[in-house]
Structure 1
Amino acid sequence: MADTATFTVRRVTQPEPALLDSLHAVITHLVEEGAALGWVEPPTRAEIGDLLGDLVHESDLDDACLAVAETSAGAVVGFAYWSRRIGETEQPHADIGRVAVSSSARGGGLGQRLVTELIDYARLAGIEILTLDVRGNNHAAMALYERLGFREYGRIPDFVAIGDQRWDNVYFWLDLRPDEHDLTLHGDTPTGPGASEVRE
């Protein structure tokens, strides 16, 4: 079990050329190990550079958050990020894109520290609901999210495709709205824009 006290978790807020190489290295290693990150083959350095650049730019607008875990030497051993949803009616909310920790740093709660960093900044950014999805065979990740208050709201059976193999895709959400707020919550009441009722 890794001693995660030796690792630093921080939010990335500006371009860091040295971070790109370290982030690309850990992602390449994770994908080669078969980590459930949405890539079958490791992404190129340029692709990770584009992702990093987009997240840093969007973080200036409180539209994204990238957190990394590093050794004392500055090597990345884990990362996680969320991005604000694009749809106009979904902009108060954000989706966690990826959470990953190197196999050499697992077992000491580093994943929880990364996700907690995302949650804390989401609250500061005014995010109302955080969502995420996870491959159905990733039971450790699902247990982590549930410990942090996420609730499962659905799944698509045998949806994630790797070659001829299929796994469930499981969806979670976390409500970050304070107990006292000025929002009017209609739920599924057939009222307001776009409402309709079943006709007899």
Structure 2
Amino acid sequence: MLAGFPKQVTLQTGTSVTIRPMVKEDAEKLHAFFCRVPRENRLFLRDDVSLREVIDSWAEELDYEKVLPLVAEVDDTIVADATLHRQKFGWTSHVGKVRLVVDVDYRGKGLGMLMVKELIDTARKAGLEILVAEIMGGQASSLSALKRLGFEKEAVFYNYVKDQTGEEHDLVVMMKNLQIEPAMVPF
């Protein structure tokens, strides 16, 4: 799953970015990245990433076969985090879940699309057949980007999840069938 990394990419703005797997030594930089994400955006994340111990536990428990965390770096600063989650055994061992967080200063520049494309390519190489993305309702730009990458809305669970303040939100489940040939996606 690590073949082809690190990878150099260039954003629409001309900025050079390195995409690579997270390593244990990234904990401090990853925590700093998540602390730069606006609080209103962090409310939509599964874990309270403002807590250093959350990031430290991720770093200590790295298992690329279970969760492949990719980070994007510009000048030694992490500007995005994308993860591919999978189960090696059981009835969903052919399914992967994707998650993505992009620094505010790098949104709308193609970085999120590039990161998800890397997860799609890695999932295909790993033999996964389906990718799932779970998005809180109201995140229109995320839903639109996933749709451009071939994900389709499969279900909406109304008032199903609560953000970190306890407010209820809809959960949108989007899926991508990896057995269908990828369409050309303009950047």
TM range (shorter): 0.7 to 0.9
Q: Secondary structure at the match of 1:108?
A: coil
> Alpha carbon RMSD of aligned pairs, Å?
2.2
| Offset at residue 7 of structure 1 (A) | 3.8
Point out where structure 1 has 5 or more consecutive residues left out of the alignment: 180-200
State the AA in 2 paired with 1:94. Answer: G
1:47 aligns with 2:47: no
Alignment of 1:32-181 (within 5 A): 32-35=39-42, 36-39=44-47, 41-54=48-61, 56-57=62-63, 59=64, 61=65, 63-71=66-74, 73-85=75-87, 88-96=90-98, 98-162=99-163, 163=165, 165-177=167-179
In 1, the alpha carbon distance for the partners of 2:149 and 2:124 equals 14
In 1, the alpha carbon distance for the partners of 2:169 and 2:149 equals 24
Q: Secondary structure at the match of 1:177?
A: coil
> After superposition, what is the alpha-carbon deviation per residue over 1:65-85, rounded to whole angstroms, capped at 9, x for unaligned?
2211111x2100111101113
In 2, the alpha carbon distance for the partners of 1:164 and 1:75 equals 32
Compare the two structures and name the one with the higher strand fraction: 2
Which structure 1 residue ranges, 4+ long, deviate > 3 Å from structure 2? 2-5
C-alpha distance 130-52 of structure 1, shift in aligned 2 (>3 A) = farther
In 2, the alpha carbon distance for the partners of 1:28 and 1:111 equals 18
Give me the TM-score of the superposition, normalised by structure 1: 0.75
Q: State how many pairs are aligned.
A: 169
Percent of aligned pairs with the same residue? 26
State the AA in 2 paired with 1:104. Answer: D
Which of 34, 39, 43 is the equivalent residue of 1:27? 34
State the AA in 1 paired with 2:46. Answer: G
> After superposition, what is the alpha-carbon deviation per residue over 1:158-192, rounded to whole angstroms, capped at 9, x for unaligned?
2222345322100011111257xxxxxxxxxxxxx
Point out where structure 2 has 5 or more consecutive residues left out of the alignment: 1-10, 182-187
Structure index of larger Rg = 1
